[in-house]
Amino acid sequence: MSSLVSFVSAGPGDPELLTLKAAACLRAADVVLYDDLASGAILDHARPGANLVAVGKRAGRPSAKQEHVNRLLIDYAAAGARVVRLKSGDAGIFGRLEEEIEALRAAGIGYEIIPGVTSACVAAAHAGIPLTRRHTSRRVQFVTGADVAGQLPANLNWAALADPESTTVVYMGKRTFPALAAKLIEHGMAPDTAALFAESLGHAEQRLVRTTIAKLAEQLAQAGPATTAAVILFGALAGEYP
């Protein structure tokens, strides 16, 4: 397999959080297929003359079909182009990486994955908290708040998510967190469990809100349609270090 697609992780949006390898891949690319959240100043690292193709997916907005993205990756790589698939956050965490890898494998095209900084780590860092602590938070769990239809997944492990001694991070959960919080409380989590809402990480409009799961659920239930990316942290460490 002589063709190669580089899956490059862009982080949450701050170009200073790109890895050196990610920046080098962008400088070498002939074609960059990028997500909406992996655009802006991140694309300044692409070489002049590179073909920049928007293929992002955003809830409630017109988005590129996954089959179309797969076809572009295959066609560009088969034509001999150096292809970067630029994904927000870390490409391997809720980034639809599996579908694109499977398409490349079926087409006989090689690939590499360049890891990056996921928004859970950035949210915790900007809030001045760790994600773990030896005696009170020895487990971190990442969960998606949305299934393929944009609804709260039906098969979540509620006992694990309601564990007060873990740190839980919810991706893509702005619309579904009210229902998720209700299930957490139903399974024994205290309504005043600390929560951290982190929105637009790495951008000028970044916002961090320290609250509780019950109050955050109430606020999000009254909010309009989700238009910005956010992560929600709750559990043992979410409310510390105000």
Active site residues: 35, 57
CA dihedral 116, 118, 121, 126 (to 10 degrees): 100
Alpha-carbon distance 39 to 87, whole Å?
9
Strand partners, 11: 89
Long-range contacts of 212-217 (CB under 8 A, 24+ apart): 212/239, 213/181, 213/184, 213/185, 213/189, 214/181, 214/185, 216/177, 216/181, 217/177, 217/178, 217/180, 217/181, 217/182
Contact 31, 76 (CB under 8 A): yes
